[in-house]
Amino acid sequence: MNDVDSLRTLLTPEGRALLDEVRDTDPAQELAVATRLRRTHPAELVSAALGQARLRQRAVAKFGAADAGRMFFTPNGVEQSTRASVAAYRAERFAALGVTSVADLCCGIGGDALALARAGIRVLAVDRDPLTCEAARANAEALGLAGLIEVREADVTEVDTAGYDAVFVDPARRSSRRGRIFDPEAYAPPLSWAVGAARTASRAAALKVAPGIPHEAVPEDAEAEWVSDGGDVKEAVLWFGTGAPAGAVRATLLPGPRTLPGAGLPDPEVRTPGRYLYEPDGAVIRAHLVAEVAEQVGGGLLDATIAYVTADGLRPTPYATAYEITDRLPFHVKRLKALLRERGVGTLTVKKRGSAVEPEELRRKVKPQGPNAATVFLTRVAGAPTMLIGHPVR
């Protein structure tokens, strides 16, 4: 039985009943459960159901328990699909642009297609992998969205998208042989092809790319958006047809959304450490918008090459986490250990930028003990290795 056949057996009444039965199987009990179920069910069906149960448990973090418990996944689909909150945000942007239909190219298991359909947008979901397409169809059906989603097994480079308002392309950025792909032209399909497809869209287009894409690789006529969710950078998206000026940049933080547009500010000045340190969100840093945060808080940089902002006053901003700094020391492990012992610090958070020291290694050396908590920043101040000790501002 191949993978497609295995998935199809789970779509039968017997397969769905078995999925319900193994839904909450503890991994430690899986062997015992499998042994019991194989007395009354085909072994291949039991294996498929238990495998799908594991994938659904992993998918809860991305899709939520309600959807993940009904959806169908592949191992790559769980790993590479868009987080539901991010997909929903993107679908809302498409809807706000007046888009009513989207050609979703390289659709995977359908995470983005589902979000688009929930926003009332008609979707053509295309992928060349038969198993992935089978999962995408099953997911559209499972979530009651099959009426808005057509899944087509095809090479995306050969699909006519002329009948759709917008194009969304999520090219493969991993290889079974090389792992993560960093060169946009090594994506499948290449970024240059995706850009060409985006420029032919009648209303708008979005291309999902790796967050680490070099700014110089962004087309001049695209708006580049970096998106984080819960403080973790998830993706970058190149938008076309949004009405934004050519070369526009923005950072969007979820939940929210909260969007910080680029204002083209010069690099902030380097200054001596103030009472507060601001750690910009990763999307802000990737979008090169640290200067915009520095202007918001009335601060400057600790070092010209490091994305830590310092200021004398507290000005809360959603785009950075503020810390009150209590101590500044040259980098010296023994002095840090003595200070932490004096303060009774047992819970130590170690953050670093511009330091070769590994946080776990430092934590082992200082052996924090006590009832209090603190954060130490290993960084540079005007080029000198420095430790800044403080705590988050609530």
Q: How far apart are CA 218 and CA 384, in angstroms?
A: 34
How confident is the model over 144-172, as a mean pLDDT?
Answer: 96
Evaluate if residue 118 carries a pLDDT over 80. Answer: yes
pLDDT band at 24 (very low <50, low <70, confident <90, very high): confident
Q: What pLDDT is attached to residue 131?
A: 96
% residues pLDDT > 70 (the chain): 98
Evaluate if residue 294 carries a pLDDT over 60. Answer: yes
User: What are all long-range contacts of 128-132, with beta carbons under 8 Å and residues at least 24 apart?
Assistant: 128/153, 128/154, 128/155, 128/156, 129/153, 130/4, 131/3, 131/4, 131/7, 131/74, 132/74, 132/76, 132/77, 132/107, 132/108
Q: What share of the chain is helix, strand, coil (3-state, %, to 5)?
A: 35, 30, 35
Contacts of 140 (CB under 8 A, 6+ apart): 110, 113, 114, 117, 125, 146, 148, 149, 151
Q: What pLDDT is attached to residue 178?
A: 61
Residues paired with 254 in a beta bridge: 229
Closest by Cα among 217, 222, 223, 235 to 282: 235
Q: How far apart are CA 72 and CA 54, in angstroms?
A: 11
CB atoms within 10 A of CB 352: 16
**Would you say 235 and 227 are in contact if contact means Cβ atoms under 8 Å apart?**
yes
Place of tokens 């095809």: 154
Evaluate if residue 1 carries a pLDDT over 70. Answer: no
Evaluate if residue 181 carries a pLDDT over 90. Answer: no
DSSP 3-state of 5: helix
Q: Which amino acid is at 320?
A: A
Give the distance from CA 12 to its chain's centroid. Answer: 34
Each residue of 160-180: pLDDT tens digit?
Answer: 999 999 999 999 887 656 667
How confident is the model over 22-35, as a mean pLDDT?
Answer: 90
pLDDT band at 301 (very low <50, low <70, confident <90, very high): very high
Q: What pLDDT is attached to residue 382?
A: 83
Q: What pLDDT is attached to residue 10?
A: 95
Q: What pLDDT is attached to residue 41?
A: 94
Q: How far apart are CA 357 and CA 385, in angstroms?
A: 10
pLDDT band at 227 (very low <50, low <70, confident <90, very high): very high
Sign of the alpha-carbon dihedral angle for 278, 61, 104, 195:
positive
How confident is the model over 306-321, as a mean pLDDT?
Answer: 96
Q: How far apart are CA 135 and CA 73, in angstroms?
A: 6
How confident is the model over 261-274, as a mean pLDDT?
Answer: 95
Q: What pLDDT is attached to residue 184?
A: 86
pLDDT band at 254 (very low <50, low <70, confident <90, very high): very high
Q: What pLDDT is attached to residue 175?
A: 63
Q: What pLDDT is attached to residue 176?
A: 55
Closest by Cα among 339, 287, 276 to 309: 276
Q: Which amino acid is at 93?
A: R
How confident is the model over 278-301, as a mean pLDDT?
Answer: 98
Q: How far apart are CA 311 and CA 394, in angstroms?
A: 17
DSSP 3-state of 204: strand
Mean pLDDT of the chain, nearest integer: 94
Q: How far apart are CA 120 and CA 88, in angstroms?
A: 12
Evaluate if residue 246 carries a pLDDT over 90. Answer: no
